[in-house]
Structure 1
Amino acid sequence: RLNMAKIQHQWRKIMRVAKVEQLRHELEIMSQNHEREVDMKDAIIQMLDRDLDEAEEQYQTALRSHLHNLDTMINLFDAKMSDLRMEFESELQRMINDFSKERRETLEGHNRRTKEFSDILDLQEEQFQMLEEEQHQEFESHCEEIKNKNMEELNVLRLTLEGQIEDLEKHFLAAADSYSANTKDKARDCCLTPAQVQKFKEYTERDRKAAMTIDTQMKRLLRLQDNLALWRAKIASNTEESVKRNSLLKKEKESLQEHFNRTKLAMNRMREEQATILKQLSVECNDCDKTLSSNIALAERILNTAELNRKLETEREKVVPFYPSLKLTEEDELSLNDPPAGLQEEAAALSSYCRSQSGQTVEKWNMLDNFLRKYNMVLLDKEAIRREKERLLQENGDLRSILKQYLDGISVNQNVLQAPNPLMIVNERSNIQAQPQQTSLGPSTIVDGYQVVAQQVRVLLLLALVMSALLCSALLCSALLCSALLFHLPSLLVFVFSPPYLSLPSLLARSVPPLIFFFLTPRTVLPGQLWFVR
């Protein structure tokens, strides 16, 4: 029991020392792993710092390019606005001039027609005044004639009546004398009563009044006849004047109706022309709207495609989007093709709104120069990538064929046996194809069970030996393949991840040190960690 305790105590000391050594060894391993991890993290931090610097540089470059593009767009916008303002002012001035001209023509026409109407009215007033004076003179002369005629007739009638009155007086006196003489004797004979005498006086007075009434009525009748003749003369003169006035008014009405018809026809024609122009303008506006919509859709598609292409551009393409042309520079072209000032202004007024970065107008056949430059650059890159892809595919095919030949040389399978192989020599003869096993259709042989089991065990052992041999050959092949891949991996990575404009020495100088650091540092490869090769 004491010896066992000593042995255990000694064994514990040995185990403690071994454990301490083991822990120290593990501590050294952990320290080395920690240092490797720290180095790896430092490398990652340096790589991220370098990426951050590159990203900051790209951001500053993109910002400068964006600000330059903004300045260019602002200049183009200012030029466009100035052109539109000048066009608007010219159009406004043209419309003002047209309106002033039309207003002046309208006022002149109105004044002319007003003057014509005033002249017509003055002429009619003069004609009416002359007619009125003539008719007044005729009336006065007619009145004088009638008055003179009436005076003459009155004098003749007075003389006639005076003669008749004198004759009647004489006759009445003679009759009265004869009557008195005759009645004096009769009155003396018949003795008239006072009543009869009074009645005779009444009859005499009534006769006198009737004679006066007849005279008054005769004068009134003559006066009415004179008035009737006067009114008939007035009616005749007014009828003649009305006929003349109606004829003048009818002529004026016909002229006004003809002028109205001409004006209405011209107005209807102008309305039809304006309606046709408005319809054509509406159709053209609709076509223009459709064209602008299609152009906007095309522009949006172009902008979206440009944004997608922007993500795939290299740093050099972002900084210098258009490669320098071998043609003459813009200043040389301007100096060679500098027209006179007047012709240049006229050409600028008639040209489109496309301008260069210097603000000069661009001809119609030179508007797509920058696009064609970039398109040609992309087409060249595409052709270079296609040729590089064909070269890599050919190289990959060559490597595959070499690897297949190597694997066919170190392995034995059905394909190797069927294919021509100078290394396979069977019965001192090469390229001997294995004959397929023929199964006999005769009577089946009866075999004992233990023999079948023994045969299966032998087959399994043979298969295990073949599998071990194949595993060894596969390990050897994988080692050779890894060495070949390690030999070719830097160039493959460089050709895959490098821009097409870098040369092979610069690519090797940039890719070999990171690859050495990558393969000599035992660590876990994270996704996206091979980006530093670029």
Structure 2
Amino acid sequence: MPKKKKGKGSKLARMSDEERVRYLQHRAELELEAKRRKQQLIAAFTKSKLKREEAFARLNTAKINEQWRFILRRIKCKELHEDVEYLWNNFNRLMKTKNLMIQRLHSELEAADVNHRRLQEAHIKIMDLIIGRCKQKCIDLHESFAHERNRIVSDETNELNRIRNNLEQYCSQLQNINFGQDKSIENILTQTKIQNAVNIYGIAYLKEDSLSRLMHYGSNEVEKLWRQLNEIITEYEKNTGDKRKQYEYLKEQDDAHRVDVAQYPKLQTQLQRVIKSLKQDTHALSQKREQSIAELNDQIIRMRKKTENLRQIFSMNQVLDTAQLKKLTIISANIRKELQRISEKGLTVLSLLRMCSNLEPFSLTVQKYTLRDTGSRRAFTSCEYNNIQKSLYLQFLNNEYLQMSEPFDKLDKFWEQFNYIKSDNIFMKKECDKLSFENKQLRNTLRTYLLTISKATIARPLTSISV
């Protein structure tokens, strides 16, 4: 028989309090997690269901709207059909009524036109009557105005004549009055002149008497005052003797001070000149300072521009240097590989040289390359050839040995043969240059000879013809 599972009670009984609490907490968390998952599933199911319901609702509403629009279109078409039938049935009746209306309006227009013409004729007649009456009235008014004007002119002329006569009478009366007044004024003036002469004589006599009295009194007073003045002058001279001396002394000092003061303008002018010169110097110095400041500011601006340009150039050069450095690193890596390859080849060549040198017999000697006389070349003497060959050989040996490196010292024989061949080529080039130069000279001489011959042949027939 299978074993029975132990119950939860026995399991909890075997646990301690802490384990029981942890176990129950774990079970509660598992239950909460299960509830949460269940709620999530329910929410997802409800969301999907709601989405489906919304989709079905949208479809149903679209179908209902489409059906409703179809019904409305049918109703509208039916109404339009009925309206068209009604209009079609009533079209003739409307045309008849409109024609009758047009005829009636035409007759009314004709009657109105006749009435308008009659009224216009009556109006014209009335206006003519009014104009005639107004014209007659204007003529009557003009005649009455002329009659009244003539009457007023005659009355005014009579009035003017009467006023003129009155004025003449008044003028004669005024002349008589003026003559009488002139006579009375002359009498009054004669009387006043006589009275004035009497008064003037009395005043002059009184004046002479008062003047004589005043002269007598004044002479006495003048004598008294003259005596007093002489006494005062003598006392003043006595009292002011010392003061006069002091005044003379002060006057002399004043003259000396005046001389000094006369010299002050010269000093003032000199000082003003000095001040002007100092002002000019200060102005020139200020201008120089401003110019120097402006130049320094310009230099600062130029230096800033230069620094900015240098920074830009430096940044560009830095970028270029970085790019070139990258390229150089790549190239150097390639060159390094190539040099390694060349070094490997050199090692192989050295190994071959060692093998060849070991296998080479002692009796073997290198036959040097010499010039061969081919007939077209000019034969050199043996001594000249040997001297030149030795000098060139030594020169090339020095150059080549300096360029050669130490690992290739064992290729001396090869380089000797190479140098002999190179010297022979140099001699051949020199000989070729000399021969080309001689060839050019011969061509020039031949050309000149042919030209002289051609000129001589042209000149002969001319001489014969002239003879």
TM-score over 0.5 for the alignment?
Answer: no
- Normalized per residue, the structure richer in helix is 2
For Structure 1 versus Structure 2, the TM-score category normalised by the shorter chain is under 0.3
Which structure has the larger Rg over C-alpha atoms? 2
Asked which structure has the greater RCO (Cα within 8 Å, sep 6+), the reply is 1
TM-score when normalising by structure 2: 0.22
TM-score when normalising by structure 1: 0.19
